[in-house]
Amino acid sequence: MFTVTLKSSGRQFPVNAGETVLEAAQRAGVALPYSCRSGVCGSCKAILLRGRCEYPRHPPLGLDAHALAHHAVLLCQAVPASDLLLEAREVASVEDVARRQINMVVEHKWRLARDVIGLHLLPDEGEPRLLRLPGQYLDVLLEDGKRRPYSIANSPQADGAIELHVRHVNGGGFTSRVSDSLRVGDRLRVEGPLGTFVPREDSERPMIFMAGGTGFAPIKAIVEHFIALGTRRSIDLYWGARSASDLYMRELAEHWVRELPHLQFHAVISDPDQAAGLRTGLVHQAVLADHPDLSGHDLYMSGPPPMVDAGHQGFLDAGLPEDHLYYDSFEYAPDVLASIIAGRAGIHDR
Ligand SMILES: Cc1cc2nc3c(=O)[nH]c(=O)nc-3n(C[C@H](O)[C@H](O)[C@H](O)COP(=O)(O)OP(=O)(O)OC[C@H]3O[C@@H](n4cnc5c(N)ncnc54)[C@H](O)[C@@H]3O)c2cc1C
Ligand code: FES
């Protein structure tokens, strides 16, 4: 057994043999940032100040040569090979939110866009509700032991209601089931809450939100939270999609603009033939064109990995401090990633 020490807070926790730093931290009630848990998105990045780690599960694909040269490690994959001293961000607000598994019933299923289904779930009779923060996600637990993460699109509700926005993926096991055979009244076993993509309220900085496709789901929950709080901080919301009809809740975003004078909404369409008069281009480029200096902002982004990767690099180059960038990248689940790596296919060729 090894001990991990976090330099900034001085907190320490033990790590059992074969356990990752993230798993051990969660067992000890220490909230470190993470999203995909597959070693791809990089949101669990920390700096190793002393000690040695190994990567027996997945290689640290979320670290580039520059990060590796600066002793970065990925906490969701790093297994200590000695005691460690780490420089890592802590997300205190998620610390007290206990994770649990419950059965939920599909109350409503509706089509949001050509390839996006909305699901409204309620806790099954006798089940407690999931306590959670806006922006977190849950895992749907599949019969074969696999899991699929989905962001929760509504802010926490007294009756435990959960809204999901599920995009159909070609060849995808669970999303094909959602499209084809999942019915109202069916039960899904879920575990949550998960993730650290949550509102940061200890800041007065203006906020930029950038969503790609169903990446709108957690951003909807966080924006609704800030609206309910009556925030006076300015909000610029960018939502990118391939076509105008893929912006499946555009009326809601336009409603927020009418409600809040300091909220701006920017729709950005990547296929000029499908733009229906809206702004065209890549959504992260629209953010950068409007905000060439991001040094004074908080930026939240969520959606497909290529968008998150491009935004990550572009926003840091525009002066955004890495500590003010919060994101969820909709990476493939760890089991899919493992088979893709075993088959040597490119994981970002999608
Ligand atoms: C934090 C987080 C939040 C997310 N939130 C959302 C959300 O709110 N909404 C949403 O729509 N999605 C979300 N996702 C993505 C979601 O979890 C699933 O990855 C996605 O829905 C696909 O699931 P699936 O079971 O249908 O597909 P899978 O069965 O996982 O397959 C995915 C793709 O991989 C291919 N594939 C599978 N196995 C192999 C193999 N061995 N070799 C090559 N290719 C293979 C399949 O053909 C398919 O194209 C999120 C992901 C993360 C990490
Ligand atoms: S790389 Fe560790 S959570 Fe994504």
Q: Is 11 exposed, middle or buried (0-12, 13-18, 19+ CB in 10 A)?
A: middle
The pair of structure tokens assigned to 22 is 């993230």
Q: Hey, how many other C-beta atoms are within 10 angstroms of the C-beta on 97?
A: 17
Domain that holds residue 171: 100-194
Q: Can you list the alpha helix ranges (DSSP code H) found in 57-192?
A: 65-69, 173-180
The pair of structure tokens assigned to 14 is 């033990």
Query: Using CA atoms, how far apart are residues 94 and 326, in angstroms rounded to an integer?
Result: 14
* Residue 138 Cβ < 6 Å to ligand 1: no
Assess whether 221 and 318 both reside in one domain.
yes
- For residue 186, how far is its CA from the centre of ligand 2 (angstroms)? 31
Nearest atom (ligand 2) to Cα of 42? 1
Query: What's the pTM?
Result: 0.95
Assess whether 119 and 40 both reside in one domain.
no
The residue nearest atom 13 of ligand 1, judged by CA position, is 150
User: What is the arithmetic mean of pLDDT over 5-11?
Assistant: 95
User: What is the arithmetic mean of pLDDT over 324-348?
Assistant: 81
Assess whether 219 and 317 both reside in one domain.
yes
* Residue 217 Cβ < 6 Å to ligand 1: yes
Assess whether 170 and 259 both reside in one domain.
no
Tens digits of per-residue pLDDT, 59-92? 899 999 999 999 999 999 999 999 999 999 999 8
The mean of the pLDDT values for the chain is: 95
State the pLDDT confidence band at 263, using cuts at 50, 70 and 90: very high
Residue 14 within any structural domain of the chain = yes
Residue 224 within any structural domain of the chain = yes
% of the chain surpassing 70 pLDDT: 98
Query: Using CA atoms, how far apart are residues 313 and 335, in angstroms rounded to an integer?
Result: 27
Q: At 179, give phi and psi (nearest 5°).
A: -65, -45
Residue 350 within any structural domain of the chain = no
Tens digits of per-residue pLDDT, 101-126? 999 999 999 999 999 999 999 999 99
Assess whether 281 and 175 both reside in one domain.
no
Ligand closest in space to the Cα of 41: 2
Residue 339 within any structural domain of the chain = no
- For residue 45, how far is its CA from the centre of ligand 2 (angstroms)? 7
Assess whether 253 and 171 both reside in one domain.
no
Residue 341 within any structural domain of the chain = no
State the pLDDT confidence band at 298, using cuts at 50, 70 and 90: very high
